[in-house]
Structure 1
Amino acid sequence: MQLSVLDQSVACVGRPQDESIRNTVALAELCERLGYQRFWMSEHHSLPAIVGTAPEVLMAAVAVRTRSIRIGSAGVMLPHYSPFKVAEQFRVLDALAPGRIDLGVGRAPGSDHRTAMLLNPDPRASEMFPQQVRELQAWVGGHDMPEGHPGHGIQAFPRGSTAPELWMLGSSGYGAQLAAHFGLPYSFAHFITDGEGCAEALELYRHRFKPGALQEPRANVCVWALAADTEEEAWRLFASRERARVDRQTGRFGPLLPPEQAVRPYDEAEEVYRRQLRGKAMVGTGEQVAQKLRALAEELEVDELVVITWTWDPFAQRRSYELLAQACGLQPA
């Protein structure tokens, strides 16, 4: 089983937001040394809990501080942007880190409706997503647009001996079908849905897959997990994430609280959700979490899991990735 990482540059109470960005770069350097396969960064806008707003910029910083780990977006919310400009940005990234760039794209806004309209005022932007993917695939791969297309003869520079690998991201059957149609690798956001719909989306992807960029389907699953030196410590740290998820159910978003400040009384509905969340949570010692990850990978028939971990303390987050690397037998770089 291969392990990779997704980091969202989470905002934390009592810490400057710019520190979260620098912590992401430091985490990428650590994860490369630990032997993780790839390091992905997300895109969100005007969300008080997450300050990772520009993965392509953050990827450049990580590219020049690493040497072997794959670096990617998870993802670029394509309806906000010109596919041609995205292709140019990622070809520049590939020049900085040849053969190490993953271009993960998604259709979700990564924001609320008002913010999405500021990024792209066209209310039909998301309807153009399949066409955008087709155009992006061509420009990233160095292929020309067909006769009659406004982009015919236009090239995305710089060119090199390698090119970014385009990934389709999703948390429903829509992304799975699109990835299958274009023959792209597919990543399911298990951590967003708490696993709901994951098996069905993967089955849909594999069943409808048509050779394109890939000859055979290839998928991974992005899952939330947290390991600590003791199970008790892991559950203590989990309180920050637990509070954030419960609050989100009622539209409350904010920076991550320290575990000691995160505990509050829950009403009946919140308590039901909290228990469900804990029942599914991959939390414990390194060995305990590794066993849960292996079982999930076997159940879903994937050979790569992308792990996302939220903690208020960045050192606890780094320790979690260290413990998982040890428990899963990753080979240090």
Structure 2
Amino acid sequence: MAMVKLMLISLVISASCVGTTAGSNVIHIHMANYGRTDTTTCSFGRPANQLRNINCYAPTTLPIIRDRCEGRTKCAVHASHHIFSDPCGGISKYLDISYSCVPLSSNAIRIHTANYGRRDKTTCSSRKPWNQLRNTDCSASAALPIVRESCEGRTTCLLQALNSIFSDPCSNTYKYLNIFYSCVPLTSNVIRIHTASYGRRDRTTCSSGRPSNQLSNIDCSAPAALPIVKERCEGKTTCLLQASLSYFPPDPCGGIYKYLDISYSCGPTEDRSSEDTGDCSGRGGLAGSEIDCVKLYDCLSKGIWNFLEVGGATRHHGY
């Protein structure tokens, strides 16, 4: 795997893996900077005062380059402060990229846990004052869904550990982003959501051990359920939902024991125009269709959070 280094002072810089192994390779970015780190690169004809600052880095360069080039067979980027901002006014800058051509990955990222905050006093603690390390019960609740939204199902992703992305769960504490993930085989199928309801539509589902007054209202449905489920799951290979009022507010029927009911199918990512959107509820398949419909339930047991992972085997949870 050879590494390629590109530098350009203006106009357009191009990276390409086309022609390597019959075009089966893609770009993998190692580093990128727009600015100046020495006095010799792209210095011809430049006065000394435009070359003197060699500690000039645009912090947005790497995420911008990875967003435009990572995993592609070719890309082109303008070396301009209009794209990367101007990290050092009056200095002649250049775009410096190191990349290699690697085989297209057959695996995808699977996120297991993610936390932005602080859970111990040792991680990322070098040269930090003790008062910035003492809070070890610091966790941003939005970390896992944000990381999954950015990385789940992709071959590569890039995240910045910033308050502006994850919010600040504990001020005056030095925070870090901690992610546990694995690489799993890519799937050619994605989730198609057909129906979704959070509430109660009958007296039998998830009724074990429940008093009759908590099962009496069978015309209970949160109107936001379908758009919320589609937003979190549609077109993904896997997704995670919580059968909770915090996910599907407001409460559609107070005092009623509710459950999350989803009907979905797994279908190819391409040619979605022919999708049959008929009712999957209570049936093993759609008339005139190859789609296999699955009915899922998840019940919220008192005092217990129950999670439903869509994309695997059928699950019926009753408590």
Q: Which TM-score band applies after superposition, normalised by the shorter structure?
A: under 0.3
Higher strand fraction: Structure 1 or Structure 2? 2
TM (normalized to structure 1)? 0.21
Higher helix fraction: Structure 1 or Structure 2? 1
Give the structure with higher Rg (CA).
2
- Greater RCO (Cα-Cα under 8 Å, separation 6 or more): 1
